[in-house]
């Protein structure tokens, strides 16, 4: 059965096609006019963002992230986190945890040395709730500057919310809804208004470390959460289309939800839950041993300690705001800082296509052929909606990036590189579609690859079939590995006649159509359920004969 919350076309999909282009980009001849647009990852504005570092000093963790690669959909060149607990005990003392300060200083010395060795520029160092609220926050900043040379920028609650919202927009340029970013000491809300715009931004003291300091037991904590969330709801009265959850405690809850459901794709970014599933998981957490959950989900002890209180906050949020759907975002404040430095032109590009183009340029045997391959197979998908056409484009760009893998495992590597990659702008269903198409680029029978059939539950059956057709089309199209394959051969699908025609326009095209190519053409026609037909340049029709 298809899981409606992880399958099909994304409602959050990035702006693609002409709607995503620069104001003057709608005229023919402009480099952004054609379906793929001009690549931006190798332009000067993208190169300036090719290796950006962010040190994020939070109430619970201190993390260094270094972004690299395609600026619009960057890879994580380096990502390390230390759970320091700077905000532990803040409610009682008003100061940073002494133990946390020591651990944070050690981590920051390491991060500063690493960033210097990696020649990271720019390197942004920010601090959030714990440092901005602590009496000894200024002293801590001075100590860090003296020991490491790092200049810490302390951001306020609304600014933290805005940057987290921009992080969500890095992955979903067209997102609408409400983002909720939970840290150790605070929780931020921000509106996503669509079109890349961020609306009202608010901060609250609903972080689990803060809640631990409330006197009066569980009931007092629940009462505090209820009042705070009701106050927030009064400032955001509209029912959100979607609630985007940002932060480690939310991700830990999502891992538990995956474990409870036996979910087959362990990718947190864009993992979706219904309000009912959230309530079921919160009850599951309440009745299950925390140690057992920690072991089964691979969550650290320090993080799992915050999960029960974070669950209480989430339960009240869902009850008050009544979102239609909840989505986990792997992107937050750090990605928001990268987004902050992008031009509007770069922000509006499709993160999936930009990442795929970068992967092709770096890893493919024939960079640039992905576009030619798309033009060759596109007649088979002429009626596809834009959301599906972008997946066809991405698959063609990625069809050859795993060629260095051992041949017997190439299909599996292709699937994993798409379905489990750190990519934005993809639902889980779209990940599986893209992975299946690339798997079938190299293998006719997915059962021979050890493929997890449970993943098919994330796609409608018709999409599973179309992914196979796309894979077989790329498998055949790769036999015409020329600069302009459409000059030598052209496909035409007549669905009503159930006929797949191949016109061989040149001697080169006829020479390329050898035995292997013929076998792949028949396999493609068989997958479509069409009669394979060959035409020559003069239009003479000949029934294609199967290869023995």
SS (H, E, C) 508-526: HHHHHCCHHHHHHHHHHHH
Pairing of strands 531-536, 499-504: parallel
- Rounded to whole angstroms, how far apart are CA atoms 529 and 440? 17
Concatenated DSSP letters for 274-326? Answer: -HHHHHHHHHHHHHS-HHHHHHHHT--HHHHTTHHHHHHHHHHHHHHH--S-E
Tokens of 62: 């201190």
Q: What is the DSSP letter of 38?
A: -
Q: What is the DSSP letter of 184?
A: S
In this prediction, residue 483 carries a pLDDT of: 83
**pTM score, two decimals?**
0.86
Tokens of 398: 């990625």
3-state secondary structure of 484: coil
> Do residues 16 and 390 touch, judged by C-beta distance below 8 A?
yes
Residues 246-295 have pLDDT tens digits of 999 999 999 999 999 999 999 999 999 999 999 999 999 999 998 999 99
> Do residues 346 and 40 touch, judged by C-beta distance below 8 A?
yes
- Rounded to whole angstroms, how far apart are CA atoms 205 and 181? 12
In this prediction, residue 45 carries a pLDDT of: 57
In this prediction, residue 545 carries a pLDDT of: 58
- Rounded to whole angstroms, how far apart are CA atoms 532 and 522? 6
- pLDDT-flagged residues of the chain (< 70): 1-50, 69-71, 538-548
Q: Cα angle at 135 between 133 and 138, to 5 degrees?
A: 90
Closest by Cα among 95, 177, 87 to 129: 87
Pairing of strands 123-127, 153-154: parallel
- Rounded to whole angstroms, how far apart are CA atoms 238 and 322? 10
* Bridge partners for 225 per DSSP: none
> Do residues 103 and 130 touch, judged by C-beta distance below 8 A?
no
3-state secondary structure of 354: helix
- Rounded to whole angstroms, how far apart are CA atoms 171 and 350? 9
* Bridge partners for 180 per DSSP: 189, 245
Q: Please report the domains of the chain, with CATH numbers, ordered by start residue.
A: 41-154 (3.30.420.40), 157-335 (3.30.420.150), 349-487 (1.10.3210.10)
Tokens of 83: 């759970």
CA 287 vs. chain centroid, Å, equals 32
Largest CA distance in the chain: 88
Residue 242's CB is within 10 A of a number of other CB atoms, namely 19
């Amino acid at each position: 059965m298809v899981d409606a919350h992880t399958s099909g076309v994304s409602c959050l999909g990035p702006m693609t096609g002409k709607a995503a282009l620069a104001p003057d980009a709608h005229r023919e001849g402009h480099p952004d006019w054609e379906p793929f647009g001009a690549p931006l990852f190798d332009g000067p504005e993208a190169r300036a963002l090719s290796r950006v570092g962010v040190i994020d000093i939070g109430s619970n963790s201190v993390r260094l992230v270094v972004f690299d690669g395609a600026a619009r959909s960057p890879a994580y060149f380096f990502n390390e986190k230390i759970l320091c607990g700077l905000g532990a005990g803040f409610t009682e003392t008003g100061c940073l945890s002494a133990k946390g300060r020591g651990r944070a200083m050690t981590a920051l010395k390491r991060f500063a040395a690493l960033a210097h060795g990696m020649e990271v520029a720019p390197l942004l160092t920010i601090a959030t709730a714990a440092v901005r609220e602590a009496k000894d926050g200024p002293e801590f900043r001075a100590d860090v500057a003296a020991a490491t040379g790092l200049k810490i920028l302390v951001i306020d609650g609304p600014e933290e919310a805005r940057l987290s919202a921009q992080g969500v927009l890095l992955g979903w340029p067209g997102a609408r809804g409400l983002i909720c970013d939970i840290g150790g000491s605070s929780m931020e809300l921000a509106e996503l208004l669509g079109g890349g715009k961020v609306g009202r931004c608010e901060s609250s003291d609903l972080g689990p470390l803060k809640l631990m300091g409330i006197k009066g037991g569980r009931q007092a904590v629940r009462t505090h959460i209820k009042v705070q969330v009701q106050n927030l709801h009064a400032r955001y009265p509209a029912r959100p289309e979607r609630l985007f959850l940002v932060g480690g405690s939310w991700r830990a809850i999502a891992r538990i939800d995956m474990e409870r459901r036996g979910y087959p794709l362990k990718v947190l970014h864009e993992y979706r839950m219904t309000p009912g599933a959230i309530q079921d998981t919160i009850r599951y957490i309440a009745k299950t041993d925390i140690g057992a959950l920690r072991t089964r989900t691979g969550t650290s002890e320090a993080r799992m300690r915050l999960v029960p209180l974070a669950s209480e906050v989430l339960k009240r949020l869902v009850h008050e705001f009544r979102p239609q759907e909840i989505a986990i975002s792997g992107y937050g404040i750090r990605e928001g800082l990268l987004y902050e430095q992008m031009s509007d032109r770069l922000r509006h590009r499709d993160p999936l296509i930009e990442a795929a183009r970068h992967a092709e340029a770096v890893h493919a045997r024939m960079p640039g052929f992905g576009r030619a391959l798309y033009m060759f197979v596109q007649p088979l998908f002429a009626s596809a909606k834009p959301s599906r056409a972008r997946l066809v484009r991405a698959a063609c760009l990625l069809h050859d990036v795993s060629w260095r893998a051992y041949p017997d495992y190439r299909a599996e590597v292709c699937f994993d590189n798409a379905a489990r990659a750190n990519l934005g702008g993809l639902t889980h269903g779209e990940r599986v579609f893209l992975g299946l198409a690339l798997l079938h680029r190299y293998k006719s029978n997915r059962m021979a690859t050890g493929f997890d059939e449970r993943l098919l539950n994330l796609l409608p059956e018709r999409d599973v079939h179309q992914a196979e057709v796309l894979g077989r089309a790329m498998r055949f199209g790769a036999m015409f590995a020329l600069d302009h394959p459409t000059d030598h051969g052209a496909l035409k699908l007549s669905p009503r006649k159930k006929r797949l025609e191949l016109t061989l326009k040149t001697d080169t095209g006829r020479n390329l159509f050898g035995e292997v190519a013929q076998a792949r053409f028949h396999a493609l026609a068989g997958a479509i359920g069409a009669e394979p037909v060959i035409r020559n340049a003069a239009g003479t029709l000949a029934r294609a004969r199967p290869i023995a």
